[in-house]
Structure 1
Amino acid sequence: MPRHKKYEGVGEKATTFTKKIWLDHEDAKSVKSTKLKLTWLPKTSELVNLTLVGFDYLITKKKLEEGDNFINVLNPCTRFESAALGDSNMRNLKPGEVLQLERKGYFICDVPFTTLSKPILLFAIPDGRQQAVLK
């Protein structure tokens, strides 16, 4: 199948169809009442582990003022991680490759697939329009 239905030039991907699937947690909570599309993955042993990494602002104020103690406005946690699963096509990601995860945003591959026991490391690319969805 095309990797992206609007941009055929980005190539093709394999799609696996199974009788059992994984649903996104938010979809699973509302699956009987939603008219929206569902985000799913086939339930197979081919899925890969992901670590999604997001970053927050270094300081907690939009503008520093004279007299502010810099130590008091430092954000104590600027990096956060969440675990996720990805389809088998993600085994082909290369370092520096950019991809979009449905309803999660855009990410850049930092550490590609090497073994099933080591997750692929993806860094969130902030777009400036939304709060981070990984928190």
Structure 2
Amino acid sequence: MKAGSGLEWCIRARISVDGPVKCLRDPVVYCCNLRPHHRTGTTWKIYPTYDFCAPFLDSLEGVTHALRTDEYRDRNLQYSWIQEALGTHHVDIWDFSRLNFVRTVLSKRKLTLLVDNGVVWDWDDPRMPTIRGIRRRGMTVPALREFILKQGPSQNVIKLDWTSFWATNKKYIDPVAARHTAIPKHNTVIATVNGVDEPSSADKPKHKKNAALGTKKIVLGLELRLHLEGDFKKTEKKVTWLAKETINMIPVNLVDFDYLITKENLEKDDDLSSFLTPKTEFRTEAWADCNVTSLARDDTIQFDRIGYFRVDQEYQDGNPAVFLRIPTGKGD
């Protein structure tokens, strides 16, 4: 086995081949694997199994309590037996149920298929249910911490909706998201107003309720007549506009996403490829106000009447800035 020629061989722990508890029926603890290791290359040809390695390392590293999802519960006796047999430090196990979401696959094997087959960009794709993925989509660390702590280590199998997840995040980003303006190109209408001589500008707060965010420049190429008798709350249609000035029309791409999975609850034996949403990425070309040129990657903003966005790619050398839409838990 050390030479790599005994692929049909394995090393098993001698416990009880006919014991009433299946996990104690002489489990495999070592087997051959000829694939190169990412650190040691081809130095070793024999490796420990997870069930043997986990209790040993947990004990060696001084872990006091191992937090494990309940899918491993039927092997807890084996975990304890290995530590006792090796004479190592005993580790207590706390079981809890896995956190599942609707229309979402969490299996690493199935997620790997999505990456390898080009269904998503990579492991940090905003559609992926990974920490890197949800962070790239705009989830904040405080909101993630709050959501997880509220769930608690439940023993019940639960299937959560993403609504409450993103609603928690909105509480954190709304007070600090500077307000900006963007106009989708495919819906733009050019308006000419008579009586306007030269464009002017004015400084306005980025957030009406948070002066600490500073001010932004509003370019007026447009002059409106005051109509005090009107009531904007009763106006059926409201207009979002930008002055048609080169410095005030910054090209941007607004990117939104749909669920990767079409089925509410994907069963263990379901064929993943049969339940993939045909199109999950939607890009909208737009013009944004001049202030977006000062935004940096990972900044969170709100485009008025469109939604919240995270800067995924800054505006640079005329290349459009890329903004990823952050769900808010309402209608997402």
* TM-score (structure 1 length as normaliser): 0.78
The answer to whether structure 1 residue 94 and structure 2 residue 94 are counterparts is: no
Which of residues 203, 212, 223 is equivalent to 1:9?
212
Which of residues 111, 119, 125 is equivalent to 2:320?
119
The answer to whether structure 1 residue 56 and structure 2 residue 258 are counterparts is: yes
Farther off after superposition, 79-88 or 36-45:
36-45
- CA distance in 2: counterparts of 1:37 and 1:82, whole angstroms: 21
State the one-letter code of the partner of 1:12: T
| Cα offset, 1:66, TM superposition | 5.7
- CA distance in 1: counterparts of 2:284 and 2:303, whole angstroms: 13
- CA distance in 2: counterparts of 1:95 and 1:105, whole angstroms: 18
Farther off after superposition, 77-86 or 64-73:
64-73
List alignment gaps of at least 5 residues for structure 2.
Answer: 1-203, 224-234
State the one-letter code of the partner of 2:210: Y
Change (3 A) 1:66 1:114: closer
| Cα offset, 1:119, TM superposition | 0.5
State the one-letter code of the partner of 1:92: S
Partner of 2:306: 104
State the one-letter code of the partner of 1:11: G
State the one-letter code of the partner of 2:309: F
Q: Deviations over 1:2-26 (max 9, x none)?
A: 1112211111111111138xxxxxx
* Structure (1 or 2) with the larger CA radius of gyration: 2
Partner of 2:243: 42
Which of the pair has the greater relative contact order for Cα pairs under 8 Å at 6+ separation?
1
Q: Percentage identity across aligned positions?
A: 36
- CA distance in 2: counterparts of 1:37 and 1:10, whole angstroms: 26
| Secondary structure of residue in 2 paired with 1:130 | coil
| Secondary structure of residue in 2 paired with 1:14 | strand
Q: Deviations over 1:35-68 (max 9, x none)?
A: 4432111111111001011121110011123653
- CA distance in 2: counterparts of 1:56 and 1:35, whole angstroms: 30
* TM-score (structure 2 length as normaliser): 0.34
- CA distance in 2: counterparts of 1:52 and 1:104, whole angstroms: 10
Q: Deviations over 1:57-108 (max 9, x none)?
A: 1100111236532211011222111101100001111100000011211100
| Cα offset, 1:130, TM superposition | 1.4
- CA distance in 1: counterparts of 2:237 and 2:263, whole angstroms: 37
Change (3 A) 1:113 1:73: same
Partner of 1:68: 270
The answer to whether structure 1 residue 83 and structure 2 residue 285 are counterparts is: yes
| Cα offset, 1:129, TM superposition | 1.4
| Secondary structure of residue in 2 paired with 1:83 | strand
| Cα offset, 1:115, TM superposition | 2.2
| Secondary structure of residue in 1 paired with 2:215 | coil
Number of equivalenced pairs: 118
- CA distance in 2: counterparts of 1:105 and 1:121, whole angstroms: 14
Alignment root-mean-square deviation, CA: 1.9
